[in-house]
Amino acid sequence: MEHIQQSSQSTTEAKWKGKATAQVKESNAEQIWPCIEDFFGLDKWFPGISTCIPLEGISGQPGCVRFCAGFKTPVDGHDKKTVNWTKQKLLSIDPTRLTICYSIIDGNVGFHSYVSTWNVLPKDDGCEIEWIYEVEPVQGWKLELLDSFIHNGLQVMAQRMQDALKTLEQALRVEVERLNKQSGGACLRFCLFKFETPRNALSLLSLFLSSLRSSIWPSMAASDAHNGASVRHAFGSVLAFFILLLIGVLAFSIRLFSVIKYESVIHEFDPYFNYRVTQFLTKNGIYDFWNWFDDRTWYPLGRVIGGTVYPGLTLTAGTLWWILNSVNIPLSVETVCVFTAPIFSAFASWATYLLTKEVKGVGAGLTAAALLAMVPSYISRSVAGSYDNEAVAIFALIFTFYLYIKTLNTGSLFYATLNSIAYFYMVCSWGGYTFIINLIPMHVLLCIVTGRYSSRLYIAYAPLVVLGTLLASLVPVVGFNAVMTSEHFASFLVFIIIHVVALVYYIKGILTPKMFKVAVALVVSVGLAVCCAMVAVLIAVVASSPTKGWSGRSLSLLDPTYASKYIPIIASVSEHQPPTWPSYFMDINVLAFLVPAGIIACFSPLSDASSFVILYIVTSVYFSGVMVRLMLVLAPAACILSGIALSQAFDVFTGSIKFQLPSLSGHSHVDAGEASSESVVTNDSVKTDKSEDTSKERTSKKSKKKEKELVEKPLSKSQIKKRLLVLPLETSIIAIILLVLLGAFYVVHSVWAAAEAYSAPSIVLTSYSPEGGLHVFDDFREAYAWLSHNTEVDDKVASWWDYGYQTTAMANRTVIVDNNTWNNTHIATVGTAMSSPEKAAWEIFHSLDVKYVLVVFGGLVGYPSDDINKFLWMVRIGGGVFPHIKEPDYLRDGQYRIDSMATPTMLNCLMYKLSYYRFVETDGKAFDRVRRTEIGKKHFKLTHFEEVFTTHHWMVRIYKLKPPKNRIRGKTKKSKSKASSKTASKRKGLKRNPF
């Protein structure tokens, strides 16, 4: 065989290039082409390849991916135990010109940027197969070795194809003699039945043409095979599209229980602030929004809204409202805000499909998307009315990961740019963007350490750090924090490392080995110097900060005990508490048991994409174990891995059933022919390298002899089952039934969680009586409506920070603190007032110009999230700033009590009095249904506060500060002196107000 090498042997070239050819006699190009075109059948022809399986797509369709393993390379040692493998993607195919082009996108043989083109060229005495390739210099190889490896492999391929065609032609002649009296349609069905793929059927029909000297039958077979593949591909694409559409409808509709059961209303606390901001945006425009100073919050400090919020959610909903009104769909701002989360949950499901498809194919993607549409953890934050940042942030998180994996698989700078833009949207939407900018650098570092660096990895990461950081710094709430805080430093450090590695690979390709060692020493030295300089700069930047540049929430994730020790305001939030084991079953249900199977599936084979998913699930499991809120981050990873596990399991079980069904249908008249055809191909694919080194004549004689014996003595069914490792039919059917039941249980649980557990808005509560009657508690809106209609516009309302957003949005009154919690001292002041005696508390509130105090009390109806249960956090937060407030003063022998054993400090504090004032009048016993005890102090009067409103179920109580007593003029000096003496005597018995 002629060997033509078009590239120079000099190692100074950036890429290696070469070409090899092989002659195939007695077979024309049209007969050889189906063998080349069968992209998933390389193991039948190339020597040493024991496995060639499809990973994605349909054979012969551009974009399909195959996994090849088991071959030996010239640089492999005798003691090598690992199996060589590559992941190859079909780039283009032209059946008219008989050319095919593919690339190696992953593998462990060191091939980077490998692109190969095969051409089948007609010749007078047969045809010629041409193999053209180019690749970056391969570590440990020489160009001569690669040329020899490809040249020898191509010669064996050509010989095997020629021998297989001759053997098939002989078998076909026998069948033709038996079927020559039957119709052409019967022959065609026979040919399609004989072979596993339409491409092999085309090869058989080409031989049928040569034996019958007919011009009609081959064209019919080729047309039917091509049309069948096209129809199946089109049908599969359309079916996948409609399944995704149904998944989107499911994700949207399952989140509407809150609207159906209650009404279209905003939920929780934070969503009311977001709703208020969106109202301002749609009314005043984007420029006024950026410059908005809100004087109704954090009185008397105020708050700059545009510079302290993540604007992604607000801008998204505002844009949707503007688009809908532009096309004459007059929806209110509240309606758009209510349905934003369900809409983006559908988008998140579709993004999950795209991400999982890049990792393990279409089937796994569809399964993962369906799981995410119903996972309770995500439903809890995306029901209709849950207008919070996570409503759009989870979609942005998944879509950013998808674009990163897409760039990693393709090396496309276009997708890298889109990835940076998606990251920018994530930064605009949620503070959890720091998870992305730390997880991706961790994966890049993992790839570098494990020897999986490639140009695709560089393209996927470098633009994200540069462009993504620049875009993130444009968000006012982030600003220079994108380059000044420790949460971002890991990305910069890995950015330096990947450039050092890229420089080493580049130098290695252009220098001789001797010069390369010198250059590596220089590059490593310079790289270490730059790294040390950067580390010194980072240390200097963060040394002045007591938290070393980390935010309080980040430190709480790294050290779960940090918040409880130093920042009680973070620890006081219920969603920042660690989850319990039952909460995992509640929020992800059966996915917790499928995740380990998905991790195992990602290791076979392990690719850059699958390693990222594994890293994602490991980190999200840890963070979800620290904060129950981060179960939301775990949910997409659990759905992806569970989708992979279920898809792989269904493939195995349905494949086993499909293999064994023909044996039950009684097609015994073709068993011998089928076995003989399979045995010939099998024999060709398992030839050893020893037979390849012998002479051509001896090889052809032995192969013909073995083929003749195998045709006469076909493989038995048991041998074929053993070779394919097929599971028993009964086992496969039972396993599929169990998987279906598991999925049904997941669906039932998810629907129950969406309808009952997570649909109730916190502002409207319900309960059921023993007789089954429904009771609705609308006390919150009742209280806010009273404030709105019975107080002055400029009146200030004091409450615990949980109710600040709702008071501002629904009552339109100025509050002292709210849910932003940006000023710990201000919150501690309110906590100190609630923990102080009545007169001291009055002085604190009066100094803040407070006119009304709002407390939430659940003792009458059994509402557990009231202020009495939160009171110890008020004590801890207040005591953290004002030392005279001590938690032990409110505990009896370390126990928090409100009964007769409660401490005097507890019984006389303002929170106790405002909660239990006149409580004894409800049942005569003053029995607290939440604490399940009678209160300790039942009969008392208020001296500095007066009750102005209590809701129907006593859940919200509003008190007004009594005005200070004015001096009385016009009295005699005697009366003045008596009054002053009385006042002085009273002051002697009171402590000075510490505030």
Strands of 485-635, DSSP E: none
189: pLDDT strictly greater than 60:
no
Distances (CA, A) of 417 to 357, 405, 414, 423, 729: 20, 13, 5, 10, 49
What confidence tens digit (pLDDT) does each residue in 802-835 have? 999 999 999 999 999 998 888 889 999 999 999 9
DSSP percent split of the chain into helix, strand, coil, nearest 5: 60, 10, 30
Instruction: Give the Cα separation of 973 and 979 in Å (integer).
Output: 10
Q: Which of 404, 906, 363, 903 is nearest to 643 (CA)?
A: 363
Q: Average of pLDDT values for 841-858?
A: 94
Which of 140-154, 926-940, 961-975 shows the highest mean pLDDT? 926-940
103 three-class SS: strand
Structure tokens at 719: 């041998």
Identify the helix (H) or strand (E) that includes residue 390: helix 390-410
Q: Can you tell me which residue has the tokens 């510079």?
A: 307
- Residues in contact with 570: Cβ distance below 8 Å, sequence separation at least 6, in sequence order: 552, 553, 556, 563, 576
- Across the beta sheet with 956-961, the strand order is 814-815, 796-798, 852-856, 956-961, 945-950
How many CB atoms neighbour CB 492 within 10 A?
A: 16
Provide the pLDDT confidence category of residue 843 given band limits of 50, 70 and 90. Answer: very high
- Residues in contact with 230: Cβ distance below 8 Å, sequence separation at least 6, in sequence order: none
986: pLDDT strictly greater than 50:
no
What confidence tens digit (pLDDT) does each residue in 552-591 have? 566 666 767 766 666 777 766 777 778 888 889 999 989 9
Residue with the larger pLDDT of the pair 646 and 136: 646
At 809, phi and psi to the nearest 5?
A: -75, -40
Instruction: Give the Cα separation of 49 and 65 in Å (integer).
Output: 16
Residue with the larger pLDDT of the pair 250 and 62: 250
pLDDT for residue 566: 67
404: pLDDT strictly greater than 50:
yes
Q: What is the mean pLDDT of the chain?
A: 81
What confidence tens digit (pLDDT) does each residue in 268-323 have? 888 999 999 999 999 999 999 999 999 999 999 999 998 899 999 999 999 999 99
pLDDT for residue 24: 87
What confidence tens digit (pLDDT) does each residue in 753-771 have? 999 888 888 888 888 777 7
Q: Average of pLDDT values for 916-922?
A: 92
Q: Average of pLDDT values for 131-150?
A: 86
Instruction: Give the Cα separation of 782 and 779 in Å (integer).
Output: 5
122 three-class SS: strand
pLDDT for residue 175: 65
Instruction: Give the Cα separation of 602 and 610 in Å (integer).
Output: 5
Provide the pLDDT confidence category of residue 170 given band limits of 50, 70 and 90. Answer: confident
Structure tokens at 750: 């998810």
What confidence tens digit (pLDDT) does each residue in 321-378 have? 999 999 999 899 999 999 999 999 999 999 999 999 999 889 999 999 999 999 999 9
How many CB atoms neighbour CB 887 within 10 A?
A: 13
Provide the pLDDT confidence category of residue 643 given band limits of 50, 70 and 90. Answer: very high
Q: Average of pLDDT values for 436-455?
A: 92
Strand 814-815 relative to strand 796-798: parallel, antiparallel, unpaired? parallel
Instruction: Give the Cα separation of 49 and 69 in Å (integer).
Output: 6
pLDDT for residue 811: 92
pLDDT for residue 407: 94
Instruction: Give the Cα separation of 12 and 291 in Å (integer).
Output: 59
Instruction: Give the Cα separation of 447 and 404 in Å (integer).
Output: 14
The CATH architecture to which 779-961 belongs is 3-Layer(aba) Sandwich (3.40)
Instruction: Give the Cα separation of 459 and 464 in Å (integer).
Output: 9
For residue 366, give the amino acid letter: L
pLDDT for residue 897: 92
Instruction: Give the Cα separation of 701 and 163 in Å (integer).
Output: 11
Sequence spans of domains, the chain:
3-228+666-688+715-726, 779-961
Provide the pLDDT confidence category of residue 548 given band limits of 50, 70 and 90. Answer: low
Distances (CA, A) of 652 to 646, 745, 942, 972: 10, 22, 74, 103
Provide the pLDDT confidence category of residue 690 given band limits of 50, 70 and 90. Answer: very low
Structure tokens at 574: 């219920």
695: pLDDT strictly greater than 60:
no
User: Residue 871 in contact with residue 933, Cβ under 8 Å?
Assistant: no
747: pLDDT strictly greater than 50:
yes
Structure tokens at 948: 């102005």
Provide the pLDDT confidence category of residue 545 given band limits of 50, 70 and 90. Answer: low
pLDDT for residue 440: 95
Instruction: Give the Cα separation of 519 and 125 in Å (integer).
Output: 53
Strand 303-304 relative to strand 293-294: parallel, antiparallel, unpaired? antiparallel
pLDDT for residue 416: 95
Instruction: Give the Cα separation of 477 and 538 in Å (integer).
Output: 22
What confidence tens digit (pLDDT) does each residue in 614-640 have? 999 999 999 888 888 889 999 999 999
Q: Which of 756, 962, 967, 936 is nearest to 859 (CA)?
A: 936
3-228+666-688+715-726 is classed CATH 3.30.530.20? yes
What confidence tens digit (pLDDT) does each residue in 503-530 have? 888 877 777 777 877 877 877 778 778 7
216: pLDDT strictly greater than 70:
no
For residue 876, give the amino acid letter: R
pLDDT for residue 549: 58
Instruction: Give the Cα separation of 454 and 318 in Å (integer).
Output: 42
